[in-house]
Every structure is written in C-alpha cells, then in structure tokens.
Chain A
Amino acid sequence: MFSKDRWKEILQVLTTNMFRTALTAFGVFWGIFILIILLAAGKGFENGIRADFGNIATNTLFMWTQKVTKAYKGLPKDRMFYYKTGDVADIWENVDGLRFVSPRNQLGSFNGTNNVIRGLKSGAFTVYGDYPEIIKQDPMDIISGRFINQSDINERRKVAVIGVDVRRSLYEKDEDYLGTYIKINNVNFMVIGTYKKSNNNGNGDQAQREIYIPFTSFSQAFNRGDNVGWMAITAQDNVPITNIKEQIFEVVKENHFIHPDDKRAVGHFDLNERFQRVSGLFMAIQFIAYFVGVLVLLSGIIGVSNIMLIVVKERTKEIGVRRALGEGPWSIKKQILMESVFLTIISGMAGIVFGTLVIFGVNYLLDMNGPVMMFINPSVNLGVITIALIILMVSGLLAGFIPANSAIKVRPIEALRSE
C-alpha cells in the first residue's frame, strides 16, 4: 500500500505543477492554522480564568449573614443575626454529602491601619480564625513549621501560621521567626509556621499576606463568644454543593428564626455554580473554535477536491493508458485518494507546525511582558493535534473521493480517445 513507487508517483504528480499545488495546500494550511490558533486562544483564556479560581476546592459554598428582610415568629425585620458554633453541628446532622464545614472568623485591618506588630515593625494583614480543614478547601503549601491542628483548637493555643509576605514584612531576612511572638490587635501569638499559596492570578500578592490562627483562640482573644463570621462548606465530589445548599440554608434559617422565604438573610457565594458556568463557557469557546476552524478547513478541502478533479481530468488519457497496461480500477482510485490525503496532511502539518510556532512566540511575549489579565499560557496539547490529524486524514479522503471515482468512471477506451 505504501510502496516506494506510490510515493514517488505522488511526489511526481504533485510537483509537476508546483504553484498550483502550493496554492491548493495553502487552503488546508490556513484552515488548520486557524483551528489551532483558536483552540490555543480558548485554552489561554481558560487557563486565565482557572487561575483566578486558584486551586480552591471548587465544590464549595461560602456563607455569611446579612440583614433579615422578613418579620417572622414575632421577630422584626431589618435585624442582624450571627451564625453560632452550634449551627455547624446542626448542619452536619441535617445535611448529607458534606465533606468540610469550616466556620471562620475574620479580622481585617480597617483603613490601612496596622493591626499586627512585632517589635519595631508592623503591618496590616488579614487574620483568620480557622479550623485545620481549611487547608484542604483553600490549599496552601506549608513552607516551614506546621499548620494549625486539632489540639491547637482544643487547647485554644495562641499560635499563628503566617504568609511568606507577612514574614518578610515583620522579620529581617535571615532572622529566626519560628517560636517568636507577634502581636495581633495587642494579643500575643506564637508563630508556628509559614505558608505560600500557589495562586498565580492578580491578587496572588494578597494571598501571601494572611495570618491563620485557631478558631477557638480567635474567638477567645477577640471576644467573639460563639459567633461565627462565615462558613466555608465543601460537599463530597459526587454531590454538587449547588444541589444541597438550600438544605443548609433551611437549617440555619430555622436556628435563627428567619422566614423560609427570606432570600436575603443568608448571604452566600456558590463557587461550584460559578465554576460550572465558566466551564460551560469554555465548552462554548471550544465549540466555536472547532466550528470556525472546521469551516475554514472545509473550504480548503473543497479546494483540494476541486484541484484533484482538474488533475484527474488532465490525466484522463494517462489513466486510460495505465488501464490499458493493466492497472486495476482500485489501484487508480487508491492513487488519487493517496495524493489527496498526502497533500492534505502535508499542508495540514505545515499549518500545525506554523500554528505551534506562533503560539510559542505568543507565550514567549507573554512571559517577557508579564501576565495579561485572564490570559495564561495559550497552548494546544497532543490531544488537539491528534484530533487535527484525524480531521485532516478524513478530509483528505473526502476530498479525494469524488475525483477518485470520476477517475475510474471513464471507460479506458474513451479515456484513450480523449486528447
């Protein structure tokens, strides 16, 4: 099938009219180039958006309290309320499919005033009172020491895990920091570890400027009683949090005498829903890339088919001679099909290579000039290349199909007579 003679003949035929062959090849080249570029751009966009999510567990719901908007059971509207630590246990009890329920309290710095002091240095940082599970919901790398653990919670230890940038602000370059104390709102906490988050998006800097202390110590130190500022709730992988969030809301609404129809009281942010919507967008972008790319490619294919028809027409006599010499119709058909597939694949490969080079160049420029909003590492993977090659293979066959058939439709005697 792939004998040397066939290849030789394919090359002989295609190089006879170089200019025409090149012009035909360009159609396919362009089509696959557009397809590759569009897919890569889509991927770059996707990477950009995904980086925005960081590697936070996406099946997560964040929940806080807002003003109550409906009077209920004798309680007025427009009142504020707080989640209590008891809510956590009630949620566990009443809702199935949960993985983590992490209550959290938070202390910010208001108006940029410094809330953390160490010796002569100070800084403004966000301080979280958290449970150890939070590290699984909002992953971070522990660079030194350790993260807060259950005994810290139980014993209300005044310990703190600080971001690498916090350390940089409060300590000299090679100063020991593990075991030293920092003052958060005038309460001493001992540094037990540093972390670094791998977010590479715009607020990556902010992510390294946080301090994690045990939830219980936080409540005690800053007089929060059993109040809970907000909760990060992650469901099991096979249970979309979006599907069970209403059940969670019901639990807290009942606990806090809120009207079941009060849509505002429970403030929340459904990361899963957001993530699914964005994923849908990626699908749509990919679909459009394929759609446009394949359409452009199609016009290239039609070009190939057209030229092959002309070539076959020009070679009518030759084909007649070959049949008179005893070449079977299948062999002739195969020859035309192979010419078509070969032309398509070669020009397609050129398109893939050129597209990849362009993507490479764009990546280089992106690296040189720093990150661009929502556009990171546009790329095509091996899967896309394989799909492109399969598309090329099939389209080459399709392009050659009609010409190949028309080549053997003419009877040899008529082919020989034609001049």
Chain B
Amino acid sequence: MIEIKDLHKSYKMGSNSLHVLKGLNFNIKEGELVAIMGSSGSGKSTLLNILGMLDELDEGSYTLDGVPIKNLNETKAAQYRNKFLGFIFQSFNLINYKTAVENVALPLYYQGVNRKERQEKALKYLEQVGLKEWAGHLPSELSGGQKQRVAIARALAAEPKVLMADEPTGALDSQTSYEVMDLIQKINDDGNTILVVTHEPDIADMCKRIVHLKDGVIVEDKKVDQVRASQYV
C-alpha cells in the first residue's frame, strides 16, 4: 500500500538546514495498523505529513497504492488526499461552525457526492463511532473524546485507502485515549490500513507493528502482539 525508498527531508531556515529525515525505507501493506514511535522532535510528524501529501520530500520516492506521489500541484494533491487519505489530528480540527454530521460529510462534499447520500453516509459513520444522537451538535458542545470520534468518522467517511493519525490521543486523558484506540482497532479489524504517530509506548503497543524513529532514521521496525484496548474500556 505504501512504499518509501531512501526518503530524505530537511528544513531550511535561513542559511541553516535541519536534516530531519535521513533516508527512510519501509513498506506498509494493506490492513496493517502501524505505530510510528519516537521522542518529540524525532521527525514523526514530518514523515506523516509527507505520507499525507501535505508536505514534499526532498529525496527518495513514495508510492501510494501503486501511484507514484511526485510533483503534485495543489489541485491534484487535494484530489489524492480526498480519495486516498483520511486524517485524524491531535487537536481534532473540527470546523467549529458546522455540526458533527456536517463535519463528517465534508470530505464527501469535496468528492461531489450528492446531498442525500452524503447525509446518509455521514450518519452511518457517526453511528459507527457511537455518536449518532449527537449528529446535530456543534463541536463546542462535545467532549474531547467525542470530538476525536467525530474526527475519526470524518476520516472514514471518504472511505480512504489509508487513515493517518498524528498523536490522536495526545490531547485526551488515558481512559478516553483507550476508548479512541479501541475504536481505531475495530476500524482496523474491518480491514482498514492505519498509521498512528505517537510517543506513548502504551498506545504504540495497541498497534500491530511499531516503527521506531530516532534522529531521523529508523532504529527499529518490529511486529508486536496487539494489546486490545477493549480490556481497559
């Protein structure tokens, strides 16, 4: 599903340049649930942003579902993001003047899906994350965990090939974090490919594979026995 070869990325700041990713190689297959681990500043978000086509790589190659991701203009990148990817952010990033169901329906709107179908699908995914009764509420009326679940429903709505979550539990207490991870695991059980960036080991252990980043290189890439979050819920 995802193939990365010799990926380099530096940030230029004036005359200095900060080499953040120093030649990464890895593949992710369909249906995997991968944690990208590492301490703060190790380049996790940078990697995820490149995989999410929000940022460009300097060197190397990136292929997503057989499509080489290279020299995309903004319109094309937006189309690819819409079709291939679902994002889950640490700070939820719901649109504050839109209701839960409107937020979930957004990616479908950008796909040109008609109104009725959009509404149906959005409600279906809200139901999947257990928030159907909250469909008409604004984000400000939801708790942190509920917001993140709406965000997950939104990421699912476009039926993307890969879900990308950058510290999805970073803003939540541990109980709520486990609830969110439980949801993510269930979505993965349905066959969805998911990448989770985290610096918390217990969250990483709930994935099926851990890629450990340190100083811009992969120091470890191992399969793990998944800890089910449901036991904590």
Main secondary structure, interface of B, reads helix
Whether the pair A325, B81 counts as a contact (CB closer than 8 A) is: yes
Check if B55 is an interface residue, CB within 8 A of chain A: yes
Tell me the complex Cα distance, A13–B95, Å.
11
Check if B26 is an interface residue, CB within 8 A of chain A: no
Whether the pair A323, B78 counts as a contact (CB closer than 8 A) is: yes
Tell me the complex Cα distance, A324–B53, Å.
9
Whether the pair B158, A413 counts as a contact (CB closer than 8 A) is: no
Interface size of B in residues (CB-CB distance below 8 Å): 26
Whether the pair A322, B106 counts as a contact (CB closer than 8 A) is: yes
Quick one: which of B55, B74, B98 contacts A328, CB cutoff 8 A?
B74
Kindly identify, within residues 59 to 102 of chain B, every residue whose CB is under 8 Å from any CB belonging to chain A. 74-75, 78-79, 81-83, 87, 89, 93, 95-98
Tell me the complex Cα distance, A408–B81, Å.
16
| Given A327-B78, A327-B110, A4 contacting B115 (CB threshold 8 A) | yes
| Given A5-B109, A322-B106, A326-B83, A413 contacting B49 (CB threshold 8 A) | yes
Kindly identify, within residues 328 to 357 of chain A, every residue whose CB is under 8 Å from any CB belonging to chain B. 328-331
Tell me the complex Cα distance, A317–B139, Å.
15
Tell me the complex Cα distance, A322–B93, Å.
9
Check if B216 is an interface residue, CB within 8 A of chain A: no
Whether the pair A322, B95 counts as a contact (CB closer than 8 A) is: yes
Check if B154 is an interface residue, CB within 8 A of chain A: yes
Contact partners of B81 in chain A: CB under 8 A: 323-326
Tell me the complex Cα distance, A322–B107, Å.
8
Contact partners of B93 in chain A: CB under 8 A: 317, 321, 324, 416
Contact partners of A330 in chain B: CB under 8 A: 75
Check if B54 is an interface residue, CB within 8 A of chain A: yes
B97 nearest CB across to chain A (Å):
5
Contact partners of A317 in chain B: CB under 8 A: 93
Check if B145 is an interface residue, CB within 8 A of chain A: no
Quick one: which of B55, B75, B82, B97 contacts A325, CB cutoff 8 A?
B82
Contact partners of A331 in chain B: CB under 8 A: 110
A167 nearest CB across to chain B (Å):
74
Closest to A16 in B: B97
Closest to B83 in A: A326
Contact partners of B82 in chain A: CB under 8 A: 325-327
Tell me the complex Cα distance, A13–B97, Å.
8
Check if B143 is an interface residue, CB within 8 A of chain A: no
Kindly identify, within residues 361 to 419 of chain A, every residue whose CB is under 8 Å from any CB belonging to chain B. 408, 411-413, 416
Check if A318 is an interface residue, CB within 8 A of chain B: yes
Contact partners of B168 in chain A: CB under 8 A: none
Whether the pair A318, B95 counts as a contact (CB closer than 8 A) is: yes
Closest to B107 in A: A325
Contact partners of A13 in chain B: CB under 8 A: 97
Quick one: which of A16, A325, A412 contacts B110, CB cutoff 8 A?
A325
Whether the pair A329, B115 counts as a contact (CB closer than 8 A) is: no
Interface size of A in residues (CB-CB distance below 8 Å): 23
Whether the pair A324, B110 counts as a contact (CB closer than 8 A) is: no
Tell me the complex Cα distance, A323–B77, Å.
9
Whether the pair B74, A408 counts as a contact (CB closer than 8 A) is: yes
| Given A325-B107, A327-B78, A5 contacting B95 (CB threshold 8 A) | no
Give A1-37 as 1s and 0s: 1 = Cβ < 8 Å from B's Cβ atoms: 0001100000011001000000000000000000000
Tell me the complex Cα distance, A16–B140, Å.
14
Closest to A328 in B: B78
Tell me the complex Cα distance, A323–B87, Å.
11
Contact partners of A322 in chain B: CB under 8 A: 95, 106, 110
Closest to B54 in A: A413
| Given A317-B93, A326-B81, A328-B74, A412 contacting B54 (CB threshold 8 A) | yes
A10 nearest CB across to chain B (Å):
11
Contact partners of A413 in chain B: CB under 8 A: 49, 54-55
Tell me the complex Cα distance, A5–B122, Å.
15
Closest to A321 in B: B93
| Given A412-B54, A413-B54, A416-B54, A328 contacting B110 (CB threshold 8 A) | yes
Contact partners of B230 in chain A: CB under 8 A: none
Check if B39 is an interface residue, CB within 8 A of chain A: no
B92 nearest CB across to chain A (Å):
10
Contact partners of A325 in chain B: CB under 8 A: 81-82, 87, 106-107, 110, 154, 158
Check if B111 is an interface residue, CB within 8 A of chain A: yes
Check if B43 is an interface residue, CB within 8 A of chain A: no
A314 nearest CB across to chain B (Å):
11
Check if B52 is an interface residue, CB within 8 A of chain A: yes
Whether the pair A324, B87 counts as a contact (CB closer than 8 A) is: yes
B210 nearest CB across to chain A (Å):
25
Whether the pair B52, A324 counts as a contact (CB closer than 8 A) is: yes
A176 nearest CB across to chain B (Å):
79
Tell me the complex Cα distance, A323–B52, Å.
11
Contact partners of A12 in chain B: CB under 8 A: 97-98
Contact partners of B83 in chain A: CB under 8 A: 326
Whether the pair B75, A326 counts as a contact (CB closer than 8 A) is: no
Whether the pair B49, A326 counts as a contact (CB closer than 8 A) is: no
Whether the pair A326, B158 counts as a contact (CB closer than 8 A) is: yes
Q: Please name 24 pairs of A and B residues whose Cβ atoms are closer than 8 Å in the assembled complex, sorted by A.
A: A4-B115, A5-B115, A12-B98, A317-B93, A321-B89, A323-B78, A323-B81, A324-B54, A324-B81, A324-B87, A324-B93, A325-B87, A325-B110, A326-B83, A326-B107, A327-B110, A328-B75, A328-B79, A328-B110, A329-B74, A330-B75, A408-B74, A413-B55, A416-B89
User: Which residues on A are within 8 Å of B, measured CB to CB?
Assistant: 4-5, 12-13, 16, 317-318, 321-331, 408, 411-413, 416
Given contacts A325-B110, A325-B154, 10 further A-B contacts (CB under 8 A): A322-B95, A323-B74, A325-B158, A326-B78, A326-B81, A326-B107, A326-B158, A327-B106, A408-B74, A416-B89
